[in-house]
């Protein structure tokens, strides 16, 4: 039998309308969206379903919105496939919080409240800095690190071979883009983001997030949850909190996280939440791995069929 790992979407995957067809047609999905509105005290569901895009892309809405849409996808798949077999979870940046909830390390409600606050703290850090990010396509890690050193920026995401993201002060990012192109990058593109995520410019968010995490109860995960910071499974609840705080300014080691799971014998991966970015990364890492996803009603049904077939 295939060993299955669940993967959860990160910020940037948000799209107006996410989860709407599920909530319209499946009562249990609507119940989760209603519950989230009650927990947060505002209509997050409407922002997810109707936007406008400018509201949904605000960090304080995008983070809980993606967490919620991903959680609903996970719960509906469990309904469709009773006893859903999975042996590990991982999530890209924000998605790590959903991965921890899915593994039983914290409640859905606590996770939702924490990611709402995380989004606010990160937005506040963006507001007091002039940061930016850029995708570097078609350049290996070593020359990209040379670009970062020369421009004074950092590697934020190591997503898959040939797909890296850099982060730092906005003016330095523009310099890094030119340097990356000069070193042979196929493309180097500034990203439409509010600030320099996963860089030292986010440091002001860390003590605030630490306080939020200290106020909630964490349990040891029921299955291994791979940390973005170490590309290895999380440890004790206190260690989990420390790694989640570190994650705010640390590089996201996504390719290394997937390679760790592959080394542990995982051959089937299910992406839960809006978009298929993680599926695209996996194809670049290991074409032989099986990738399924749940983002809407159609993908829910097709993934449930594939799992039921064995």
- Which residues, including other chains, have CB under 8 Å from residue 18's CB and lie 6 or more apart? 48, 49, 65, 66, 69, 274, 295
Could you confirm whether 93 is annotated as catalytic?
A: yes
234 catalytic residue (yes or no) = no
Residues 111, 98: Cα–Cα separation, whole Å: 7
Contact 218, 235 (CB under 8 A): no
| Chain centre distance of CA 78 | 20
Q: What separation in angstroms does the CA of 15 have from each of 55, 78, 257?
A: 11, 23, 25
* pLDDT score recorded for residue 261: 98
Domains 3-127+200-308 and 131-190 belong to one CATH topology: no
d(CA 61, CA 63): 6
User: Going by C-beta distance under 8 Å and a sequence separation of 6 or more, which residues neighbour residue 6?
Assistant: 74, 86, 88, 89, 90, 99, 102, 269, 270, 272
pLDDT of res. 2: 79
Q: Treating both helix axes as pointing N-terminal to C-terminal, what angle do 27-40 and 108-127 enclose, rounded to 10 degrees?
A: 50
Q: How far is CA 276 from its chain centroid?
A: 12
Q: Is 306 exposed, middle or buried (0-12, 13-18, 19+ CB in 10 A)?
A: middle
pLDDT at 272: 98
Q: Which residue has the tokens 């469990």?
A: 78
Domain ranges of the chain: 3-127+200-308, 131-190
**Marked catalytic residue, from 198, 199, 227, 251:** 198
Confidence (pLDDT) at 12 = 87
**Residue pLDDT tens, the chain, 310 long:** 679 999 999 988 999 999 999 999 999 999 999 999 999 999 999 999 999 999 998 899 999 999 999 999 999 999 999 999 999 999 999 999 999 999 999 999 999 999 999 999 999 999 999 999 999 999 999 999 999 999 999 999 999 999 999 999 999 999 999 999 999 999 999 998 889 999 999 999 999 999 999 999 999 999 999 999 999 999 999 999 999 999 999 999 999 999 999 999 999 999 999 999 999 999 999 999 999 999 999 999 999 999 988 7
CATH number (3.40.50.300, 3.30.2090.10, 3.90.76.10, 3.40.366.10) of 3-127+200-308 reads: 3.40.366.10
Helix orientation angle between 59-80 and 108-127, rounded to the nearest 10 degrees: 150
Give the list of residues 6+ apart from residue 13 with CB closer than 8 angstroms, or none: 66, 273, 274, 275, 277
Sequence-ordered alpha helix ranges (H) in 202-276: 206-214, 237-247, 254-263
- Per CATH, the number for 131-190 is 3.30.70.250
Please give the pLDDT value at position 243.
Answer: 98
Whole-number Å distance between alpha carbons of 122 and 97? 15
**Please, what sign has the CA dihedral across residues 120, 44, 73, 217?**
positive
Candidates 61, 70, 93, 250; catalytic one: 93
What DSSP element (H or E) covers 179? Answer: helix 170-182
């Amino acid at each position: 039998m295939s060993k299955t790992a669940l993967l959860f979407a990160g910020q940037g995957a948000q799209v107006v309308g996410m989860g709407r067809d599920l909530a319209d047609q499946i009562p249990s999905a609507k119940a989760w969206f209603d519950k989230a509105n009650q927990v947060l005290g505002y209509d997050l569901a409407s922002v997810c379903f109707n936007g406008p895009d400018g509201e949904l892309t605000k960090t304080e809405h995008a983070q809980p919105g993606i967490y919620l849409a991903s959680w609903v996808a996970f719960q509906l798949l469990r309904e469709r496939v009773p006893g859903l077999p999975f042996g590990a979870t991982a999530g890209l940046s924000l998605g790590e919080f959903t991965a921890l909830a899915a593994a039983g390390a914290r409640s859905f409600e606590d996770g939702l409240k924490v990611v709402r606050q995380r989004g606010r703290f990160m937005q506040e850090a963006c507001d007091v800095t002039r940061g930016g990010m850029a995708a570097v396509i078609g350049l290996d890690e070593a020359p990209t690190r040379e670009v970062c050193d020369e421009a004074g920026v950092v590697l934020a995401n190591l997503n898959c071979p040939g797909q890296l993201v850099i982060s730092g002060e906005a003016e330095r990012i523009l310099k890094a883009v030119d340097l990356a192109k000069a070193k042979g990058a196929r493309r180097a593109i500034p990203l439409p983001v509010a600030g320099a995520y996963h860089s030292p410019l986010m440091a002001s968010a860390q003590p605030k997030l630490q306080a939020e995490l200290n106020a909630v109860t964490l349990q040891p995960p029921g299955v291994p949850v791979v940390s973005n910071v170490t590309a290895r499974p999380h440890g004790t609840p206190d260690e989990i909190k420390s790694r989640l705080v570190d994650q705010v300014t640390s590089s996201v080691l996504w390719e290394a996280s997937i390679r760790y799971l592959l080394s542990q014998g995982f051959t089937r991966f299910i992406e839960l939440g809006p978009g298929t970015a993680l599926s695209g990364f996996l194809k670049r890492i290991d074409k032989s791995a099986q990738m399924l996803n749940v983002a809407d009603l159609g993908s829910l049904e097709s993934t449930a069929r594939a799992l039921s077939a064995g």
